[in-house]
Amino acid sequence: MQVGLHTRLKPGAEERYEEYHRAVWPEVLQAIRRSGISTYVIFRDGLDLFHFIECDDYDRAIAELAQDPINIKWQAEMAPMMAIAHDFSGKGGDRLPMIFKL
């Protein structure tokens, strides 16, 4: 399963956000893998972030991460930087429809 997401940074948060992602906590990486996500890529265009995720079951993965204590702590670190955050309820408008795949 491939999922695209859109989130947005607050103005001025770009460098701090990139700093965090140059050194993602090892426990966060373990939690992501444990949830079944095999690929997670983030692209940035100005303040807009585009996430590409590959996994077996995104709804299950996101539900697990929503309850994972280390992910909760990581998201609390990210929250002050985000104008539009990743929605861990699985019901949000951050998912992007796939238009084309080769």
Does 21 qualify as catalytic in the annotation? Answer: yes
DSSP string computed for the chain: -EEEEEEEEPTT-HHHHHHHHHT--HHHHHHHHHTTEEEEEEEEETTEEEEEEEES-HHHHHHHHHH-HHHHHHHHHHGGGEEE---TTS-STTEE------
Residue 80 to residue 83: CA distance in whole angstroms: 8
Catalytic residue, chosen from 6, 21, 51, 86, is 21
Positions annotated as catalytic residues are 21
